[in-house]
Amino acid sequence: MSWLPLTELLLEAHPERQVAVEPSLDHAQLRLRALSLAAALQARGVQRVALYLEDAGELSIALLGAWRAGVQVLLPADAQAQTRQRLAQQVDLWLDDLDGLGAEPLAAARLRPEDCRLTLCTSGSSGEPKLIDKNLVQLSNEVSALERLWGDSLGQATILGSVACQHIYGLLFRLLWPLCAGRPFYRQALPFPEDLQRVSLSQSAFAWVASPALLKRMGDNLDWTALAQVKRVFSSGGALPQDAADSLHQRLGQLPSEIYGSSETGGIGWRQGDTPWQAFPGVELDLDENGALLVASPYLPAGHVEHSMDAAELQADGRFLLRGRLDRIVKLEEKRISLPMIEQALISHEWVADARVGVIQEGRAFLGAVLALNPEGMHALRNRGRRTLTETLRRHLAEHSEVMALPRRWRLLLELPYSSQGKLPQKAINALLLAPRPTRVEPSSCEERDGEWLLQLSVPPDLAHFTGHFPQTPVLPGVVQVDWAQHLARQLISDLPPRFAGMEVLKFQQLVRPGDTLQLSLRFDAERCKLYFAYRNGEAACSSGRILLEPAHG
């Protein structure tokens, strides 16, 4: 399929050119709807529009339509109420649905770069929102470079992605690059391995635009023989752990192509495997006096040099190594502590899958660590207890850092809460460290069948109830299981009487441990005012009983 520059996407119609799948969208339909939307925006006098459309086909229509109308586009990172409120003064219209928006189409025309303005909304290292302006020349330069690098290897593969198009990586790789190259893209993001497999196997050829968050979760239960037909795997948004890259290499016969860049800079470099980074075409790199990377690029305004906070080492052949974030170096008692260094030391321990460190200000400042335990770490927690686990990790860290850099507060998770983009702002880490250890559990799934509620629960490894029950063999107390059943039932069943009146036929048959996955069934007998509950761990019954309830006294 021939290349169409971004500026020419709304010129001639090409009905043979497929744009999107499920549902199908061809170029002629895209062009007509974009020109119709452009007319509607002009008729309304819109000058600035916020677009939040999870369907990449609809987003492509809206983006091109707004540009044809000369409307400035802002892509918010999410559609939360507080985001809408924060951006309300900066836009005339918020679009999350194109239904009913149309008019007699404007004439087909070449897009004028000076009329096509885009603002991305991203998070800095603190998590605070940041607005970044882009123009059509920068975006065109980048998609052209991507095609020169990888176009031949992709052929006519359908582009499938786990990341949203609201951010620069998804916007370029899932939407703008395929639009220009004539490759179809799948409309919805596919953030779960099973969904990515299902859609992949429905395509004759496919490529993945993924995040480390997804690629780390792709386990043994997938059809790897069929998935090995993938043309290329892209990863961006954070570091891809080497063991995850090696596992994909073994299963797919190729290493993921990792992309390094940011919303501010666009793409900076790429690599496959544990090798130095190769700069993208036209990108010029230098270092400041602190070793921070300086970037000049055709994806930046002409003449602008972006001053990053990434420490780097430039090699004689033009490739480079990354040495961590300079803005994540903190001072404790006048000594400089590198948070990435502490995190890497933690991850090197045989019990730790992932780690992030933050500073806690409570009187004197000290460090706290948020950990995702691997299976070996979970086994140690279940059989040796939390204190033994954290003390072992402190002794391990003592070989790498000074005493003042040893974390004094720990939070243990099944996995770190990365966004679909693979982001985990420092602000989120600090919030986890400041929050008390959990006492409740949130269901990961919930459904009703014939008056019975079925819930799936993952028991938090760091549950406060495990302290003292028991120090070296943490077990979920029975009273907590009863409390959870009643608490969750009150969230789901509207007519439960308010007063607890006792228990019947209470049985505890199997211990519930940190990290267990439980199935909880709940059924309320309104005539007898009894709430039936039962916990199972796979095929094994854990506990069951009847909670007696009665109305409040008048």
**Listing from the earlier edge strand, what are the strands of the sheet with 409-413?**
352-362, 364-373, 409-413
Confirm if 401 and 342 have CB atoms less than 8 A apart: yes
**How do 18-21 and 185-186 pair as beta strands?**
parallel
Q: Torsions phi, psi of 193, nearest 5?
A: -55, -40
Residue labelled with tokens 């003292």: 468
CB 35 within 8 A of CB 134: no
Instruction: Give dist(CA 466, CA 511) in Å, integer.
Output: 12
| Phi, psi at 441, each rounded to 5° | -130, 140
- Tokens of residue 418, six digits: 């990365």
Q: Which of 548, 547, 546, 538 has its CA nearest to residue 512?
A: 538
Q: Which long-range contacts link 82-90 to residues 24+ away (Cβ below 8 Å)?
A: 83/121, 83/129, 84/50, 86/129, 87/50, 87/121, 90/48, 90/50, 90/131
Q: E-assigned strands of 363-451?
A: 364-373, 409-413, 445-449
Residue 120 Cα to chain centre, angstroms:
17
Q: Are 289 and 307 in contact (CB under 8 A)?
A: no
**Does residue 396 have an active-site annotation?**
no
Catalytic residue selected from 349, 465, 469, 487:
469
Residue type, 108: A
Pairing of strands 72-75, 48-51: parallel
Give the active site residues. 469
